Amino acid sequence: MGLFARIRNQMSKSWLRRIDIKLSFGINSIPRNGRMVLEEGASIHSRIMKFQELRVGAKTYIRSGSELLNVREIGRFCSISNNVVIGQSKGGHGHPMSWVSTYPFQLEAAVPAAPDPSLQGVRIGHDVWIGREAMIMEGVNIGTGAVVAGRSVVTRDVPEYAVVAGIPARLIRYRHPPQLAARLLASRWWEIHEADLKKMPMNDPEDFLESIKGQRSAKYRTCILTKSSWRLVE
């Protein structure tokens, strides 16, 4: 990394801290053609990033050692632990099993492996908790309120408020009864500002749903980052 790049990286980190956003490794960790849209309070400690475009919601944190690969969206108030891999290839890109060898000859081959257009970036809803060393495969959607147990391998979509665990991850239970989960989703409580949410009875969902009636939506500051620039969204 050249001197100018180091200075620019440090300047971006200082600027982000002023709007309560933490990107531990600065904009130099963003892919060359990548783009990030971060809301106020987001905290990302991941060094390995290979996405094209990623939006991360307010107050979501991603601990160190995690890898952000083929992922497009992570909602607000998500808790992502250490060494989580999001958007891991399902195979066929780097190690095509139908070829003569699984060794990545295709990187320099005359007939490169064709990308699979059906595999989209991972999308993670709001209030999702992903435990340590979990792996989320590419193309997976994780619903709002879901929980992924540590060291699980998620190969298929996870419903809202589901708790999944295992290799491959399977449904263990739901956090709330269907009617209560539906009411929480309909309330869109994650649109309320964190300062107001802290004053509410988060330990009692029924009382909480009563207390948020009439609350205004939050206005979190949002910034757009690339490897060479940073700015607030107007």
Catalytic machinery residues: 95
- Are 132 and 150 spatial neighbours (Cβ–Cβ below 8 Å)? yes
User: Long-range contacts for 129-134 (Cβ within 8 Å, ≥24 apart)?
Assistant: 129/78, 129/79, 130/78, 130/79, 130/80, 130/81, 130/84, 130/86, 131/81, 131/84, 132/81, 132/82, 132/83, 132/84, 133/81, 133/82, 133/83, 133/84, 134/81, 134/84, 134/85
Phi-psi bin for 220: left (phi > 0), alpha (psi -120 to 50), beta?
A: beta
- Are 76 and 39 spatial neighbours (Cβ–Cβ below 8 Å)? yes
- Are 126 and 78 spatial neighbours (Cβ–Cβ below 8 Å)? yes
Instruction: Provide DSSP, 90-144.
Output: -SSSSS-TTSS-SS-GGGS-SSPPPP-TT-PPEEE-SS-EE-TT-EEETT-EE-T
